[in-house]
Amino acid sequence: MAKTMRRAFLTIDRIGGPVVHAVWLCGVIASAIALHQSQALSMNAICGWAALALPGLVGLGLSSRLNADSRRFLLTLSWVIPVFAATAAFGGALSPAAFIFLAGPAAMAAAGRRSAVIPSAITNVTAFAILGVLSLTQISAQPFSDHLLSPVPALSLAGFFAIALIFAGLRASLRLDRTRDAAKALQPVAHAFECAPAALVACDGEGKVIAASRAVRALVPGAPRNLEGLPIEGFAFGEEDSSKILQGLSQVHMSGRFTFSVRSGDGQRSPIFARSAASPEGTVLHLHGGAPDQSYIDSLKAERDEAVAANHAKSDFLASVSHELRTPLNAIIGFSDVMKSRLFGPLPARYAEYAELIHESGCHLLELIGDVLDMSKIEADRYELTLENFDARDVVETCAKLVRLRAEDKGLMLSVDTGDQDLIVNADRKAVRQILLNLLSNAVKFTPDGGAVAVMARAQGDEFVLAVGDSGVGISADEIDKLGQPYQQARSAIENGERGTGLGLSLVRALAEMHGGLMDIQSERYQGTTVTVRLPVLSGPQPNRRPDEDEDTLAVHSQIRRAQEAGQHIAQASAQASNQNKTEFDGASVVSLNQRIAS
Amino acid sequence: MKDNVDTMLQVMSKKVLIVEDNELNMKLFHDLLEAHGYETLQTREGLKALDLAREHKPDLILMDIQLPEVSGLEVTKWIKDDEDLSKIPVVAVTAFAMKGDEERIRKGGCEAYLSKPITVTSFIETVRKFLD
């Protein structure tokens, strides 16, 4: 239905202009011929009729290539100038010829939009007024005043007006139908808003209500049935609440939430919570009352219980996962341990190496499982620290030893700097070890071949500072915030094809925080990452502690840079070595290069 | 002379009852014990473990905690409640290795606790502690 209507409108839009202008042209030509037959026309009269024919020609001949505005301008002009001249010639403003002034607006109405009719009408009225004044002030000769009264021109003019009127009428009625259809199409949306099971209010930019759902009346007792056009702050209980509403509306892009009070049914103050969202017209508010009913409270309680149960289920699940993984690991680690210890006699060297590798991988897997488990314990607040005094340098050296093999396999330069003084700390040894191992294995994992990893341990003030830096892929600034949250991995890590549990850094952070310390990540994409952990766990007097505070953290960076340069040399050297002797090159030569550069 | 031989035989053939439901782990423990000269009895069920203990009076019981029907802790309780068996040391060898598990298991009557995965050295050390 709407489609047919649209097609009809388009047809009328297209043919309206040409048809009325053609009718005008035919009328003018027919009138001129008829007059010429009854009385020979003078040259002046012919010029007058020719001028009248002009708007018809212009209207038919205007190229559609011109834009709408210039077409409208040309058409208006072509209607007013010849008509002015012709009317002056045919009888002046006060003669029947004045009707011709109506032809322009009529043609515009039939051919174009309403916006084109008004300028045309104004121009023509102005022209008519000028002509009228001229007619009054100077008595001019009006030689052709009878022309328009003869039958053919009169009938032609009447016919033209009739056809223009028909087109204008069709246009108007089609436009009306279209508007009505559009309004009908919007009705379901309006109904949906009105009947929404939530108190919704749409306001314009000045805070006047555009529409409100029925539920608003239940929330704001005494609100009128039709809220349209009323200021929204009229809901408020008092002055203060009005300003809260206005402030809330103005901050729609920032917080999107505010509260205010309304007068309840018994005249009491009743709190309303509003959530707001911006709309093209202004703001849409979702209001809800402060006293939720029992069913709502019950549903919230149920949700909470469910969440608690889910949390327990998660802990139980992780615990049973741990159990199920440890069981086969017992066989893997146990049997390879038996082979390693040659319990049943000697083993060929290669098999012995494989046994070592199986044992090592098994132990690594065990560490990962430990991480998962520890995180679950930390999340359940069930992790307890066992504090003891120990030299942190031992832990650093042990951990570095554990990752050194992996680092050297990748051709990474691993440098360890624990200073020249004892680092006695009072901390959970296992936790410190876990912090370091996680940081080191991350650094090794995310640093491409030929890069560098550096670890430093120092006493600063009363803090034990651990810094692990690498020349790896780095982390972008917006991802740093996300890191350290359980199960989050940086995109760079995923791009790099490296997968982990996403637990490493969150575990480091959690363990550091349990010691009352902090973890800090400094990183730049493709430049490298330094993770610094500060633990206030130094134990006993620290002899000759240096006063300069920031020096050491900075030193880590320069050390990494040095190590990185060394790493590049190694990479180049290994590339050369592999070119020179492809068959003999192996990890060992990288290691020896490593040592050479380190020394 | 005869007494001496008897003592020697007794030392040689100290019996260890392994209660373990995972075949590979059973094999691992069996092989380890055998390599160190111990005799083994094996079962994967808690109820059978009690029968075997009554019948053979082993010198040590290695007890897995998570078992198909009755838990290892339950079996340990029965053993400790049984006058004839209560003297036999029970070593829990379990994959329950979270904090608190060891305490819970020791409270359940086990004389020692080994978490899986085991290391060969500590396993043998623990066994020796009870048998030598």
Rounded to a whole number of angstroms, the distance from the CA of B131 to the nearest CA of chain A is: 20
> Residue A586's pLDDT band (boundaries 50, 70, 90)?
very low
Report the pLDDT value the prediction gives residue B65, as an integer from 0 to 100. Answer: 93
Helices A114-137, A68-90: inter-axial angle, 10-degree rounding: 30
What average pLDDT does range A398-424 have in this prediction? 87
- Residue of chain A whose alpha carbon sits nearest to that of B124: A338
Low-confidence ranges of chain B (pLDDT < 70): 1-12, 99
Report the pLDDT value the prediction gives residue A584, as an integer from 0 to 100. Answer: 38
Q: Is the pLDDT of residue A384 over 80?
A: no
Report the pLDDT value the prediction gives residue A244, as an integer from 0 to 100. Answer: 84
Does residue B117 have a cis bond before it (omega within 30 degrees)? Answer: yes
Helix H or strand E encompassing A467: strand A463-470
Q: B98 and A377 in contact by Cβ < 8 A?
A: yes
Report the pLDDT value the prediction gives residue B99, as an integer from 0 to 100. Answer: 67
Q: Is the pLDDT of residue A94 over 60?
A: yes
Higher pLDDT, A575 or A90: A90
Residue B49: how many other CB atoms lie within 10 Å: 29
* From A1-10, A350-359, A549-558, the region with the lowest mean pLDDT: A549-558
Report the pLDDT value the prediction gives residue B122, as an integer from 0 to 100. Answer: 93
Q: Is the pLDDT of residue A398 over 70?
A: yes
What average pLDDT does range A195-216 have in this prediction? 87
Q: Is the pLDDT of residue A580 over 70?
A: no
- Residue of chain A whose alpha carbon sits nearest to that of B33: A343
Closest CA to A17 of A140, A145, A110, A128: A110
Q: Is the pLDDT of residue A555 over 50?
A: yes
The reported pTM is: 0.45
Ranked by mean pLDDT, the top range of A423-427, A444-448, A469-473, B58-62 is: B58-62
What average pLDDT does range A67-93 have in this prediction? 76
Please give the C-alpha separations between residue A586 and each of A72, A350, A360, A401, A453, in angstroms, as whole numbers. Answer: 85, 17, 21, 20, 21
Parallel/antiparallel/unpaired status of strands A199-204 and A452-460 = unpaired
SS3 call for A208: strand
Higher pLDDT, A152 or B123: B123
The average confidence (pLDDT) of chain A is: 78
Give the HSE-up count for residue A4: Cα atoms under 13 Å, Cβ half-sphere. Answer: 1
- Interface of B to A at Cβ within 8 Å reads 22, 24-25, 27-28, 31-32, 35, 66, 95-99, 115-121, 123
Report the pLDDT value the prediction gives residue A225, as an integer from 0 to 100. Answer: 80
Q: B25 and A335 in contact by Cβ < 8 A?
A: no
Report the pLDDT value the prediction gives residue A589, as an integer from 0 to 100. Answer: 36
CB-CB: which of B31, B95, B99 is closest to A323? B95
Instruction: Encode pLDDT of A353-367 as tens digits.
Output: 999 999 988 988 888
**A320 and chain B in contact, CB less than 8 A:** no
Higher pLDDT, A290 or A306: A306
Q: Is the pLDDT of residue A371 over 70?
A: yes
Q: Is the pLDDT of residue A526 over 60?
A: yes
Q: Is the pLDDT of residue A595 over 70?
A: no
* From A94-103, A112-121, A484-493, A527-536, the region with the lowest mean pLDDT: A484-493
